[in-house]
Amino acid sequence: MITTTTGSVEGKSITQYHGIVAGEAVMGANFIRDFFARVTDVIGGRSGAYQKELKKARALAIEGLIEEAEELGANAVVGINLDTEVVGDSMMMMVASGTAVTLD
Protein backbone atom coordinates (compact mmCIF):
# COMPACT_ATOMS: atom_id res chain seq x y z
CA MET A 1 0.00 0.00 0.00
CA ILE A 2 1.46 3.33 -1.06
CA THR A 3 0.80 6.10 1.46
CA THR A 4 1.73 9.72 0.86
CA THR A 5 0.94 13.23 2.03
CA THR A 6 1.01 14.43 -1.57
CA GLY A 7 -2.05 14.43 -3.82
CA SER A 8 -0.45 12.18 -6.42
CA VAL A 9 2.30 9.61 -6.87
CA GLU A 10 5.02 10.42 -9.39
CA GLY A 11 4.94 8.10 -12.40
CA LYS A 12 1.50 6.72 -11.48
CA SER A 13 -2.00 7.69 -12.55
CA ILE A 14 -5.03 7.59 -10.30
CA THR A 15 -7.59 5.39 -12.05
CA GLN A 16 -10.25 5.30 -9.34
CA TYR A 17 -11.17 7.26 -6.24
CA HIS A 18 -12.67 5.19 -3.41
CA GLY A 19 -13.36 8.00 -0.94
CA ILE A 20 -12.03 9.43 2.28
CA VAL A 21 -10.55 7.01 4.79
CA ALA A 22 -9.39 7.56 8.35
CA GLY A 23 -7.70 5.79 11.21
CA GLU A 24 -7.76 6.85 14.83
CA ALA A 25 -5.70 6.08 17.91
CA VAL A 26 -6.73 7.25 21.35
CA MET A 27 -4.24 7.16 24.18
CA GLY A 28 -5.95 6.92 27.58
CA ALA A 29 -5.46 8.41 31.01
CA ASN A 30 -2.42 6.27 31.78
CA PHE A 31 -0.57 7.88 28.88
CA ILE A 32 -1.03 11.40 30.27
CA ARG A 33 -0.23 10.35 33.85
CA ASP A 34 2.87 8.45 32.73
CA PHE A 35 3.95 11.38 30.60
CA PHE A 36 3.93 13.79 33.53
CA ALA A 37 5.58 11.19 35.76
CA ARG A 38 8.48 11.07 33.29
CA VAL A 39 9.02 14.80 32.93
CA THR A 40 12.56 14.16 34.11
CA ASP A 41 13.07 12.49 30.72
CA VAL A 42 12.99 15.94 29.13
CA ILE A 43 16.41 16.97 27.84
CA GLY A 44 16.86 20.05 25.72
CA GLY A 45 13.11 20.65 25.55
CA ARG A 46 12.31 17.17 24.17
CA SER A 47 10.78 14.20 25.92
CA GLY A 48 11.79 10.80 24.60
CA ALA A 49 8.89 9.12 26.41
CA TYR A 50 6.35 11.52 24.92
CA GLN A 51 7.81 11.20 21.42
CA LYS A 52 7.70 7.40 21.68
CA GLU A 53 3.99 7.48 22.56
CA LEU A 54 3.26 9.91 19.72
CA LYS A 55 5.07 7.64 17.25
CA LYS A 56 3.03 4.68 18.50
CA ALA A 57 -0.21 6.63 18.11
CA ARG A 58 0.76 7.74 14.60
CA ALA A 59 1.60 4.16 13.57
CA LEU A 60 -1.74 2.88 14.92
CA ALA A 61 -3.71 5.63 13.16
CA ILE A 62 -1.97 4.98 9.82
CA GLU A 63 -2.50 1.23 10.25
CA GLY A 64 -6.25 1.86 10.67
CA LEU A 65 -6.29 4.13 7.62
CA ILE A 66 -4.59 1.43 5.50
CA GLU A 67 -7.02 -1.25 6.69
CA GLU A 68 -9.99 0.90 5.71
CA ALA A 69 -8.45 1.64 2.29
CA GLU A 70 -7.81 -2.07 1.67
CA GLU A 71 -11.45 -2.85 2.51
CA LEU A 72 -12.46 -0.43 -0.25
CA GLY A 73 -10.14 -2.13 -2.77
CA ALA A 74 -7.60 0.71 -2.92
CA ASN A 75 -3.88 0.22 -3.44
CA ALA A 76 -2.83 3.67 -2.23
CA VAL A 77 -3.86 6.55 0.04
CA VAL A 78 -2.97 10.07 -1.08
CA GLY A 79 -3.25 13.43 0.64
CA ILE A 80 -2.71 11.99 4.10
CA ASN A 81 -3.14 14.45 6.95
CA LEU A 82 -2.21 13.76 10.58
CA ASP A 83 -3.96 15.57 13.41
CA THR A 84 -3.38 15.33 17.16
CA GLU A 85 -5.95 16.53 19.67
CA VAL A 86 -6.28 16.48 23.45
CA VAL A 87 -9.64 14.98 24.44
CA GLY A 88 -10.92 15.97 27.86
CA ASP A 89 -8.37 16.13 30.63
CA SER A 90 -6.74 12.79 30.20
CA MET A 91 -6.77 11.55 26.61
CA MET A 92 -4.92 12.24 23.39
CA MET A 93 -6.24 11.34 19.94
CA MET A 94 -4.23 10.95 16.73
CA VAL A 95 -6.22 10.91 13.47
CA ALA A 96 -4.81 10.00 10.05
CA SER A 97 -7.06 10.77 7.07
CA GLY A 98 -6.63 10.71 3.33
CA THR A 99 -8.17 9.65 0.03
CA ALA A 100 -8.17 5.96 -0.91
CA VAL A 101 -7.33 5.49 -4.59
CA THR A 102 -6.33 2.89 -7.15
CA LEU A 103 -3.11 3.62 -9.02
CA ASP A 104 -2.18 2.06 -12.34
pLDDT in tens, 47-87: 666 777 888 999 999 999 999 999 999 999 999 999 998 88
* Domain ranges within the chain, ordered by starting residue: 2-103
CATH topology of domain 2-103: Translation Initiation Factor IF3 (3.30.110)
Sign, CA dihedral 34-37-41-43, equals positive
What pTM was computed for the model?
0.81
Q: How many whole angstroms separate alpha carbon 60 and alpha carbon 63?
A: 5
Q: How many whole angstroms separate alpha carbon 76 and alpha carbon 99?
A: 8
